[in-house]
Amino acid sequence: MSSNAQAPVSHFIRTIIDSDLESGKHSAIVTRFPPEPNGYLHVGHAKSICLNFGLALDYKGKCNLRFDDTNPEKESDEYAQSIQDDVRWLGFQWDGDVRWASDYFQQLYDFAVELIKQGKAYVDELTPEQMRQYRGTLTQAGENSPYRERSVEENLDLFTRMKNGEFADGSKVLRAKIDMASPNINMRDPAIYRIRRAHHIRTGNQWCIYPMYDYTHCISDALEGITHSICTLEFEDHRPLYDWVLDNITIPCHPQQIEFSRLELHYTITSKRKLLQLVNEKHVSGWDDPRMPTISGMRRRGYTPEGIREFAKRIGVSKSENIVDMAVMEGAIREDLEARAPRVMAIINPLKVTLTNFAGAQAREADFHPNHPEFGKRFVPISRELFIEADDFAEVPPSGWKRLTLGGEVRLRHSYVMRCDEAVRDAAGKVSELRCSIDHDTLGKNPEGRKVKGVIHFLSREHALPAEIRLYDRLFTVPEPDADKEKNFLEFINPESLTVVHGWVEAVVRDAAPESHYQFERLGYFCTDRREHQPGSKLVFNRTVTLRDSWTKEHT
């Protein structure tokens, strides 16, 4: 994928890179995207992907995809594959092969041995509870572990035996020997290895000790020659440890860690634990449920890579709080689909119309897109029986009504002017059919002597195809569903986040492939479902976004 044709938006990370290149500190940049394969990527990851891969593209550098696979119980091949699919779908490609922290397990072990030999790491036997007590608090210094002054020889022996599986899980850890009185708790002799017998997705049962993230990440960056290690602000307090590890081992490269604010998107959550809870408790249909903020969920809903990349550009990169309303995301998607989605007509809530003077009526050709003649044209058929939206008829119209009412006229989209002559009721007294007449002289031209203001869409009942239409809305009813610590975030799930209707669509979409985008005129932007839509037989459409931001007006 080529970078955006427009000039990149400047931000503080670009300023750092520009300075590093100008000074000769680096001749080219190398970034990385380092997810843990313990879940599906979400919208916050999309921002990071666009940043890391986008910088590499703009500066003609490289970006690595590296899995942080140091927590084997929670990781799976399914997650790893989904992450690769998401990165590619967003339009990016990593440099070379996929990399894994497990590629470096032997080197990470060897560097730990080096720290032990320097007297800068030791094997500790405190229980987790004791370790918390010894660590101190934000206002109180920690205390040295009674095992802190073990000899180098004893630590080497114990660490070797940890690797060989002689001790029980959790009975010992290897800790960096830094400063238990440091004001930064991350520097109070952090654990860098723990014993954990768990089958690893790549190394199997080869290892029973695994390195901790803070220790693994900085060394992996250095081994890969990363120049700028970009992460979110919660890792700012971890940067001194990042630097300490690299300063105390024999490794020629020392990447610069740079932090930016993480994305908080209103009306959703980005906690992997809570997203997993939604899936496991079946509040959603899976990780790719179109209501989920996962990249796969956004894709299934019909969001486009271009729209997501534009969203990431609009929200920017800074160290200040990055809380963004869902309307910003929806706006970026809506603008992208406006330019790329063909127009067709669909009926969600059908009301039957019978044309009493249908004889001699003709179909008319219509553009798929008013501004893109290259999209082509299609015929819009008409027949004696039509479907219109039930909401487009009112017996007692409100003030300013421009749609259909008894005795009133409207223009049928791409067709004739039609007058409603009679409303037929069912046994319950509900209007079940309209009997109407068309003005045969109004195909492609205005009627003489009167002005018809309203335009409604319609379908020929004879030609229309049945379709399952899924109307998706925001998953939560409040902007910050996990902000209230006194309430469970599940209490704020929107009961109307999904409405399934059985509607009708133009026959021209019969063979549309999965993930085809359309604007259903007057209704919104829709996408054929990538899982369940079957061209020619089972038509399933997901509403991607409405034609305009109605949520903000309705909920403020």
Catalytic positions, written as ranges: 36, 262, 272
CB 497 within 8 A of CB 285: no
Q: Which of 310, 234, 267, 266 is nearest to 47 (CA)?
A: 310
Integer CA distances (angstroms), 269 to 313, 324, 483, in order: 21, 12, 10
DSSP state, 178? Answer: -
Provide the residue count of the chain.
556
Encode 301-335 in three state secondary structure. HCCCHHHHHHHHHHHCCCCCCEEECHHHHHHHHHH
DSSP state, 293? Answer: S
CB 337 within 8 A of CB 307: yes
CB 121 within 8 A of CB 176: yes
Helix (H, G, I), strand (E, B) or coil at 138: coil
Residues 6+ apart with CB under 8 A from 162: 123, 172, 174, 193, 195, 208, 209
Residues 6+ apart with CB under 8 A from 294: 40, 41, 42, 43, 275, 287, 288
Report CA 13 to chain centroid distance, whole Å. Answer: 23
CB 213 within 8 A of CB 189: no
Helix (H, G, I), strand (E, B) or coil at 288: coil
Sheet with 173-176, side-by-side order of all strands: 121-124, 173-176, 191-195, 209-211
Residue for token digits 């938006």?
A: 9
- Beta strand segments in 73-132, E: 99-100, 121-124
* Half-sphere exposure of residue 550: CA atoms within 13 angstroms, side-chain side: 7
CB 69 within 8 A of CB 202: yes
CA distance linking residue 141 with residue 184, whole number of Å: 10
CA distance linking residue 315 with residue 22, whole number of Å: 27
Helix (H, G, I), strand (E, B) or coil at 166: coil
CA distance linking residue 154 with residue 116, whole number of Å: 10
CA distance linking residue 293 with residue 86, whole number of Å: 13
Strand partners, 524: 520
Rg (alpha carbons) of the chain, rounded to whole number = 30
In which element (H, E) is residue 259 found?
A: strand 256-260
Report CA 305 to chain centroid distance, whole Å. Answer: 10
Q: Which of 320, 304, 232, 302 is nearest to 270 (CA)?
A: 232
